Amino acid sequence: MALKSWVESANLPGCDFPLENLPYGAFSHGGERRIGIAIGDQALDIRACIEEELLGPLSSEIAEACSASALNALMALGTAAWSALRRQLTSLLGSHAAPETQEKARRHLLPMQSVQMEVPAQVGDYTDFYASIHHATRVGKLFRPDNPLLPNYKYIPIGYHGRASSIVASGTEIRRPSGQVKPASSAEPAFGPSRSLDYELEVGIFVGLGNQIGAPIPIAEAEQHIFGLCLVNDWSARDIQSWEYQPLGPFLAKSFATTISPWVVTLEALAPYRVETPVRTQGDPEPLPYLKERDPSRAGIDVTVEVLLQSEKMREQKVPASLLSRASLRDLYWSVAQLVTHHASNGCNLRPGDLLATGTISGSDEGSEGCLLEMKHRAHALTLPTGETRTFLEDGDEVTLRGYCQGPGLPRIGFGQCVGRIGAAIPS
Ligand code: MN
């Protein structure tokens, strides 16, 4: 049933990037930045394929957008253009492509290991939501044991404006931030390196087609504005956060760095994995009309997301990274369409390349907490195979996020990895 590619590595079981996926990214190679797609363990240079007329008939807008060094222009073209390009790429890389076409296209494949993956688009604005009710409940319990969820939670997707300038590609070292902290035991705050550095396991939503300022995006059209999804690690300094967050929310506790995975997986590739949005618990309010999904039976997406950690000691002892948690995008209280529609509901204009993130994705059980902060509820400290324990991240720790969809008779649609290693604080 699975589509075969003449790129052999794309047909291997467990491969994140089979022919059915074809995620977009931007990479540097030989001093030039290009956009490409992932196929097996290779990156295909799209511009080179178009220049050699290997991609069949494409509009001049698409050809021009594909010769850019970031995805913004392609994102701006909208669903018809994205589908047209995807069809051509599928036929180029499929096993039915003519042998001479395969021969020519093969020259535009670059082993992924040989290219430097970049942030795929120029991100103008970055917004982070709080769409996991399990995360919101567990974090809320730390502050309000009897009343963890605030009264607005089930009505309105909560979010804050993040910082776009410090979004970095997977693999970039993350320097431990310094900031103002005030432990409960001290009368006065002090400035210094964060002692409570955390990760947050999230999925990012890249905006494709934008909207005019003043023109909201109806829920039925929201997905036409989504170019695709990636993994996001919203690094968070909890000690800085707890002192600065009232009354205006997170600021320097999160703005120092956000890591994203390099490949953007399209909604077309994710189509086989559409699922019902979580049934709201009895007594939960219906979404207000502007947020009411037209087809709740396929508003969710079943992407499994995981966090792995490897300490410096584990690396020295060649101990593989430990799985810390596993959850699914399907368990969010708000769908990706609801996040887009809510964001634009006041007339705020979204632009191609804007990034919205879901907020920490957690499930209800132990082992599905999407950040270390939530593990405070566990009876025992997190212990690594080396015997080391963790409350928060230490220097040298490497955090890897993974995401994938798989199911019986369906192709695996992988997101690849989102990796960041903690470096010592910048001396102040
Ligand atoms: Mn977050």
> How far is the C-alpha of 352 from the C-alpha of 74, rounded, in Å?
9
**What is the Å distance from ligand 1's center to 47 Cα?**
35
Q: What residues are neighbours of ligand 1 (ion), with CB under 5 Å?
A: 128, 200, 234
Average pLDDT over residues 210-222: 98
pLDDT single digits (tens) 343-392: 999 999 999 999 999 999 999 999 999 999 999 888 888 999 999 999 99
272 C-beta neighbours (distance < 10 Å), count: 13
The answer to whether the predicted template modeling score (pTM) of the entire model surpasses 0.95 is yes
pLDDT score recorded for residue 428:
76
In three-state secondary structure terms, 389 is strand
- Has 135 been annotated as catalytic? yes
**What is the Å distance from ligand 1's center to 130 Cα?**
7
- Domain positions in the chain are 8-118, 126-423
Of 324, 358, 420, 406, the residue nearest 128 (C-alpha): 358
pLDDT single digits (tens) 252-297: 999 999 999 999 999 999 999 999 987 788 889 999 999 999 999 9
> How far is the C-alpha of 48 from the C-alpha of 188, rounded, in Å?
60
pLDDT single digits (tens) 22-34: 999 999 999 999 9
pLDDT score recorded for residue 358:
98
**What is the Å distance from ligand 1's center to 250 Cα?**
9
**What is the Å distance from ligand 1's center to 147 Cα?**
21
Q: Parallel, antiparallel, or unpaired: how do β-strands 116-118 and 24-29 relate?
A: antiparallel
- Whether 75 contacts 206, CB under 8 Å: yes
Q: In terms of CATH, what superfamily is 126-423?
A: Fumarylacetoacetase-like, C-terminal domain (3.90.850.10)
**What is the Å distance from ligand 1's center to 36 Cα?**
28
- Whether 370 contacts 327, CB under 8 Å: yes
User: Look-up: residue for tokens 């959850």?
Assistant: 327
> How far is the C-alpha of 73 from the C-alpha of 187, rounded, in Å?
52
pLDDT band at 427 (very low <50, low <70, confident <90, very high): confident
Is the fold of 8-118 the same as that of 126-423? Answer: no
> Which of 135, 225, 342, 343 is flagged as catalytic?
135
> How far is the C-alpha of 196 from the C-alpha of 205, rounded, in Å?
27
Q: What would the CATH number be for the domain defined by 8-118?
A: 2.30.30.230
Token digits for 195? Answer: 């002692």
